[in-house]
Amino acid sequence: MSFHLGKPILVMLILSVVCAAGLALRPGKRDRADLLVWVFAEVHQKTYQGDGKPTTQPTLVEQFRRRTGKRVAIEMVATRSEDVRLVSMFMSDARDVPDVVELEISSVAKYLRPPTSDIGLLPLNDFLTRSGWMDKVLAARFAPWSKNGVIFGVPHDVHPVTLVYREDLFREAGIDLPAMKTWPEFRAACLKFQDFWRARGVKNRHAIELMNSSADHLIPMLLQRHMNPIDGGGTIEITKEKFVETVAFFAECVAGPTQIASQSPAAAGGLARDLIEGNICVFVTPDWRIDYIKEYAPGLAGKMRMMPMPIFEPGDSRTATWGGTMMGIPRNCKDPEAAWKLIEFLYFSKEGLDARRQYSAILPPVITQWNDPVYQRGDPYFGGQQTDLLFIEMAKELPARYVTPATAIANGYLSKVIVDAATFVERHPGDHAALVAQCREWLTGIARDLRRRIEHGKFDE
């Protein structure tokens, strides 16, 4: 008898039977490690697990096994997949969850939306107080991971923000950039810089990287002035006069006669190219971004320098914070004590922090650690400048950053205002007062809408 569904189907039938047999015979569930950790950044994975290259030290995971006898598996799950899978697990109250998860600051709000008793993560206050870490970690960094005083995550980082610039190109133009202490001075210097190079035929030389279609670079400026779109208490701050002023200033940086900015492709390699070619000569950077630039643009070693951000007025912070990671324990984890031990080991122990140094320049939030001489070394990439020390200095004046479920929507709104304001600047160049008035009007409308949204999504305990 012939097979009337045709050869391809026959082949697929055989294939599926063979694969099914293979899948069924696969050596069980490869016996699960004692602790399963989800991370979303490759650098973190390397830090915990090593990158396969031979080292003198055993990996952190290996050291932890020797100490406690617990086997740890690190699994890399990109942010978006982690979000979908974790939301789905938490909503279904799944049992088979990872034991420890690292979450990104932009995703955390959704996990904290339920009443505290129904949040998929375990409260960590007890662990933190018991172990004494509560007082040794920079308090401002617990803010994003807490709800009503209950802490659900341990901060991985501080992520202070500085500016990094092509010193050689600015020197050639005769400009001492760090001397510019305020943003208006800074902008004037950048315009001079661009004119200098344009006069020499370099048309595509933009001073600084500022995104004109998202709020990524506006947020640090707002944080400098101690404003979050929505603060920890749920207050909407976007209609404050300072907020409006900052948005207007930003718009005049990305468009119109005082434009000093351009954009770079999202991937790290793109910005590195722009820096190498001198298309963009300053970029706003937290500590984590430094690693990527060093990796993709090793040739710029010695040509780069770092400086604090200029301020708008006295009282502003010379830094901001950008990005962030926490480590937490899902509520359905079978062995929370062991999971906590692992978190302590990876985030706070001497070994953990040493391993981190090896793979990244990310400053830990452990204040007591900052006196370590390792942070006083000069960095040849920055011509011997003590950049770690600068980051620590900045960390001390770090403004608090809050995220709420409505923050993502607020950021979407801000990106819209930036686009609209930039268009306005192009149409009415130089009319600062009109721009501010227009921004105020937009932001007032947005605040009204945000209030409505927060009200709708609210769950009272």
In whole angstroms, what separates CA 442 from the centre of its chain? 28
What CA dihedral angle connects 419, 420, 422 and 425, to 10 degrees? 180
Q: How far is the CB of 245 from another protein (least distance, A)?
A: 22
Query: For another protein, which is the closer residue by CB, 11 or 179?
Result: 11
Q: How far is the CB of 191 from another protein (least distance, A)?
A: 18
Query: For another protein, which is the closer residue by CB, 123 or 310?
Result: 123
Exposure string of 131-165, with b = 16+ CB inside 10 Å and e = fewer, is eebeeebbebbbbbbbbeeebbbbbbbbbbbbbbb
Query: For another protein, which is the closer residue by CB, 94 or 150?
Result: 94
Q: How far is the CB of 379 from another protein (least distance, A)?
A: 20
Q: How far is the CB of 332 from another protein (least distance, A)?
A: 10
Query: For another protein, which is the closer residue by CB, 84 or 179?
Result: 84
Q: How far is the CB of 324 from another protein (least distance, A)?
A: 10
Q: How far apart are CA 217 and CA 214, in angstroms?
A: 8
Query: For another protein, which is the closer residue by CB, 180 or 218?
Result: 218
Nearest Cα residue to 260 out of 209, 307, 305, 224: 209
HEC assignment per residue over 285-322? EEHHHHHHHHHHCHHHCCCEEEECCCECCCCCCCCCEC
Exposure string of 22-47, with b = 16+ CB inside 10 Å and e = fewer, is eeeeeeeeeeebbbbbbbbbebbbbb
Q: How far is the CB of 121 from another protein (least distance, A)?
A: 11
- The answer to whether residues 329 and 122 touch, using CB atoms and an 8 Å cutoff, is yes
Q: How far apart are CA 458 and CA 403, in angstroms?
A: 15
Q: How far apart are CA 376 and CA 387, in angstroms?
A: 8
- The answer to whether residues 446 and 421 touch, using CB atoms and an 8 Å cutoff, is no
- What is the β-pairing status of strands 261-262 and 280-286? unpaired
Nearest Cα residue to 283 out of 207, 214, 222, 212: 207
Query: For another protein, which is the closer residue by CB, 24 or 433?
Result: 24
Q: How far is the CB of 411 from another protein (least distance, A)?
A: 8
Q: How far is the CB of 178 from another protein (least distance, A)?
A: 26
Query: For another protein, which is the closer residue by CB, 45 or 177?
Result: 45
Query: For another protein, which is the closer residue by CB, 20 or 437?
Result: 20
Q: How far is the CB of 182 from another protein (least distance, A)?
A: 27
Nearest Cα residue to 425 out of 414, 436, 411, 416: 436
Query: For another protein, which is the closer residue by CB, 21 or 139?
Result: 21
In a 3-state reduction of DSSP, which class is residue 137? strand
Query: For another protein, which is the closer residue by CB, 131 or 279?
Result: 279
- What is the β-pairing status of strands 280-286 and 161-166? antiparallel
Q: How far is the CB of 151 from another protein (least distance, A)?
A: 18
Q: Burial of 273 by CB count in 10 Å (0-12 exposed, 13-18 middle, 19+ buried)?
A: middle
